[in-house]
Amino acid sequence: MHARESDSKPVEENEAVTYAEIEGVQLKLSRPYTFPGQWIGQQEILMQLLACWITVDDLDLPLTPRLVGSPGVGKTQLAIAAAQAQGRPLYIYQCTADTRPEDLLVTPVLSQGGEISYHASPLVSAMISGGVCLLDEGNRMNEKSWASLAPLFDGRRLVESIVAGITIPADREFRAAVTMNQDESTFEIPDYILSRLQPTLEVGFPNKQDEMSILQYHLPFAEPEMLAMTVEFLQQSHQLKLDFSPRDGINLLRFAIKRMIQDPSHPISRDQAWQEALEKCLGEEAVDLEQLAQRRRRTLGGDAVPLGLADLFFDPQDPLHPDADGDDEEDDE
Ligand SMILES: Nc1ncnc2c1ncn2[C@@H]1O[C@H](COP(=O)(O)OP(=O)(O)OP(=O)(O)O)[C@@H](O)[C@H]1O
Ligand SMILES: [Mg+2]
C-alpha cells in the first residue's frame, strides 16, 4: 500500500491532494475533516469511546462502537472530539437513504480528458491513511450498503470495490465509530451488522453546569442572562424527558441575539426576543413544558406512564379526572 503526497500543489488550493495506489489502481483520497471539535463534560463516555480504539496486543482488534442518543445531544461532536484527542486524521461519511454500496467505497469520476479517475470515499480514505472514520447517521443507510461493510468490521478488515476491481485492506491504525439516530427516517440494520458494531454507547443530556459550558463555548458573545434562561429551559426539559437538546438551545439563542441587535432604534427586550426565539425555533408547544410533557406521556400511552385506576373511568382531558391539574412532578431522574 503506497500513499504519496502529490508533489505539485494546485495553485488555488493550499492543501495537497493525496493519492494512494492499491493493486495498480490509483485512488484520489478525500481530505480529512479539520475543524476543531471540543467535547465538554461527560468524560466517562469519551473514555469509553477511546477505549474501543485501543489495541492491547498484536492480535487484538479495535472495536467499532455505536453512538446513540436523542437528536442534537452531541453524538457527532463526541466522535469528532475523540478522533482529535488521539491526533488521528478524521474522515466523516454522512450516510443517507441514497447511499449506494459503491458510494461508501470508490467512485469512478470522468475527467474532462475522458479518462476515468477513482475517488476514495472518506471511509476508504480513513482505511488507507490509518485515520478514524465516523459513519454519521449510519441507520439512514439501507441494508444493501451496510452489507458491503461486513468484512471491514470483522477480523478481515477489508472492503472489495467492484467498480475499481480491487480489494482494499485497512491500515492497522484505522478506527471507526457509527452514530445512529432515533427517528422515523431510519432503516433497521440487520443483526449480523449490529453484532459487528459494538458496544452501544448512549450519549445523554448534559448536566446544568456542562450545558452552560457548552452554550458558552459555542456562543461566547451571548449575554449571561440569556445563557442562564436557556440552560434553565433545557434542564427543565431534560427533567421532563422531553428531547430539546443543546443544539436547540444554540439555535434559539442565535436567533434571539440576532433579533435583539437587528434594529437599534426599536430594540426588542431580552425577554421578548428570547420568548419569540423559543416559539419560532422549538414551536409554540415549547412555551409550556409541563403541558407538553403531559401530552407526550398521553400519546405514548401505557409505555410512558402506567395507567391508574382512574384512567379506566375518566378521559385524560376530563376535569373530573383525579389527576387533572395535578402537579405531578417527574422526579424519577
Ligand atoms: N458535550 C458537548 N461539547 C461541546 N459541544 C456539544 C456537546 N454536546 C452537544 N454539543 C453541540 O451541540 C450541537 C449538536 O451536537 P451534534 O450535532 O453532535 O448532535 P447529534 O447527537 O449528532 O445530533 P443528530 O442526532 O441530529 O445527528 C453541536 O453544535 C455540538 O457542537
Ligand atoms: Mg449527528
Residues 124 and 195 both lie in one domain: yes
Instruction: State which ligand 1 atom lies nearest to the alpha carbon of 39.
Output: 3
Q: Based on the structure, what is the number of domains in the chain?
A: 2
Residue 270 lies in a domain: yes
Residue 322 lies in a domain: no
Residues 57 and 127 both lie in one domain: yes
pLDDT at 267 (0 to 100)? 85
Find out whether 210 and 191 touch, Cβ atoms under 8 Å: no
Residues 80 and 169 both lie in one domain: yes
As a residue count, the chain comes to: 333
pLDDT at 73 (0 to 100)? 96
Residues 55 and 108 both lie in one domain: yes
The Cα–Cα gap between 242 and 6 comes to 51
Asked if residue 249 has its Cβ within 6 Å of ligand 1, the reply is no
pLDDT at 110 (0 to 100)? 93
Asked if residue 175 has its Cβ within 6 Å of ligand 1, the reply is no
Q: What are phi and psi of 120, to 5 degrees?
A: -80, 140
pLDDT at 8 (0 to 100)? 40
Residues 196 and 213 both lie in one domain: no
Residues 197 and 214 both lie in one domain: no
pLDDT at 124 (0 to 100)? 98
pLDDT at 48 (0 to 100)? 98
Q: 3-class DSSP state for residue 222? A: coil
Sign of the CA dihedral with 296 first, then 300, 301, and 305 last: negative
pLDDT at 154 (0 to 100)? 95
Predicted structure pTM score:
0.85
Residues 128 and 265 both lie in one domain: no
Residues 107 and 149 both lie in one domain: yes
Domain hosting residue 49, numbered range? 2-202
pLDDT at 29 (0 to 100)? 98
Residues 123 and 247 both lie in one domain: no
Residues 74 and 158 both lie in one domain: yes
Sign of the CA dihedral with 45 first, then 47, 53, and 56 last: negative
Instruction: State which ligand 1 atom lies nearest to the alpha carbon of 38.
Output: 4
Residues 163 and 185 both lie in one domain: yes
Expressed in angstroms and rounded, the spacing between residue 107 Cα and the centre of ligand 2 is 24
| Amino acid identity, position 263 | D
Instruction: State which ligand 1 atom lies nearest to the alpha carbon of 136.
Output: 27
Here the CATH number for the domain that contains residue 155 is 3.40.50.300
Expressed in angstroms and rounded, the spacing between residue 286 Cα and the centre of ligand 1 is 20
pLDDT along the chain (333 residues), means of 10: 41 69 97 93 98 97 97 96 95 96 96 92 98 96 95 97 97 97 87 97 98 98 97 97 96 97 91 96 93 87 56 65 56 45
Q: What are phi and psi of 28, to 5 degrees?
A: -85, 125
Report the candidate in 152, 140, 122, 146 with the shortest Cα–Cα distance to residue 62. Answer: 152
Asked if residue 257 has its Cβ within 6 Å of ligand 1, the reply is no
